[in-house]
Amino acid sequence: MKQDVLSLIEQNYPSLSPSARTIANYLQQHPLAIVSQTSAEIAEQTHTSKATVSRFFRQLGFESQQDAKQAQLQLRQSGVPVLTQGNEIDQTEEELSNLSLTFEGLRTDVLEEVGTQLAQASRVTLIGFRNSYPVALHFRQQLQQIRPSVRLLPQPGQTLGEDLHDILDDEVIVLFGFRRRTRIFKKIVEALEGRNTILITDPTGQVYNQQVSQVLVCHLGNNNPFYSYAAPMSLVSMLCNRVYAQIGENAQHRTQSISKLYTDLDEMEA
């Protein structure tokens, strides 16, 4: 995978000609031009020639400006924060689109089945790394208020082997895997084959759909440099509400008991 164009510009800047440095300066100040402008447009903006622009990108290691553009877009698809759109993005519209695409793609019967499994399992194990960890942590905080035996992995500073070895027969594992996934992720999926594993992921995680019990796909958006986790958080909320409905009165009693402990321990603001 090629490097970010801006990083390559920085690395090669000392060896660039004066005209190439003019192009480099322009692209550093206007990084969106890498994916939004043609070689002719960049040449016009920098008062150079199209041939000079082509030589500039070849010096960075690309066959052409189009090759650099595709490399930049591929970086974004792999999860690297790269600017590919202007500042005019409507964040509200982007979030609503992510939520709409996510929930339109989730089958009601699958969500119902997952909710039942989470309610009835002897134990629920949640696993998440990097950006997936906060989503898994929030899921644990919600589930633990309505049912016992919910654990989050990995524990800080701990290995996973012991915990994966002790997976129970009727346990449900919820594995979170959003771009960019760690190298160990694939090995964890392999180690959990044959277990009741629910994978919550972005569209690229569907490559694992033959190795897990269920795949729930969340859309994170592609227009902003950073992905949005509004859809995964919303899905977690939906699943917890379904589990609450499945458990019913026992869930209500548990939340009341926990709230009483909050009061006894003086943990929450009045």
Comparing C-alpha atoms, which of 49, 196, 40, 44 is closest to residue 118? 196
Domains of the chain, first to last: 5-77 (1.10.10.10), 91-265 (3.40.50.10490)
pLDDT at 86: 52
260: left (phi over 0), alpha (psi -120 to 50) or beta: alpha
Give percent of the chain above pLDDT 70: 92
pLDDT tens for each residue of 184-198 = 999 999 999 999 999
d(CA 36, CA 250): 56
Q: ∠ at Cα 33 (30, 34), nearest 5°?
A: 115
Digit-coded pLDDT (tens) for 82-130: 555 555 667 788 888 888 889 988 889 999 999 999 999 999 999 999 8
Is the pLDDT reported for residue 175 higher than 90?
A: yes
**Residue 87: predicted pLDDT:** 53
Mean pLDDT of 22-30: 84
C-alpha distances out from residue 204 to 104, 186, 211, 217, 246, Å: 17, 13, 14, 9, 31
Q: What's the rounded Cα separation, in Å, for the pair 265 and 270?
A: 12
pLDDT number for residue 84: 56
Residue 141: per-residue pLDDT:
95
Q: How many CB atoms lie within 10 A of CB 234?
A: 16
Among residues 122, 144, 149, 123, which one has the least CA distance to residue 258? 144
Strand pairing of 124-128 and 172-177?
parallel
Q: What local confidence, expressed as pLDDT, does residue 198 receive?
A: 96
pLDDT in tens, 135-154: 999 999 999 999 999 999 98
Contact 171, 196 (CB under 8 A): yes
- Which pLDDT band, with edges at 50, 70 and 90, does 28 fall under? confident
| pLDDT tens digits for range 206-248 | 889 899 999 999 988 766 667 788 999 999 999 999 999 999 9
Q: Where are the alpha helices (DSSP H) in the chain?
A: 5-12, 18-29, 33-36, 39-46, 50-59, 65-77, 91-104, 108-120, 132-143, 161-165, 184-191, 230-247, 249-265
Banded pLDDT at 78 (limits 50, 70, 90): low
pTM for the model stands at 0.69
Q: Tell me the pLDDT band of 4, cut-offs 50, 70 and 90.
A: confident
The per-residue pLDDT for 89 is 66
- Distances in whole angstroms, Cα of residue 249 to Cα of each of 184, 244, 245: 40, 9, 9
Query: What angle do the packed helices 132-143 and 230-247 form, to 10 degrees?
Result: 20
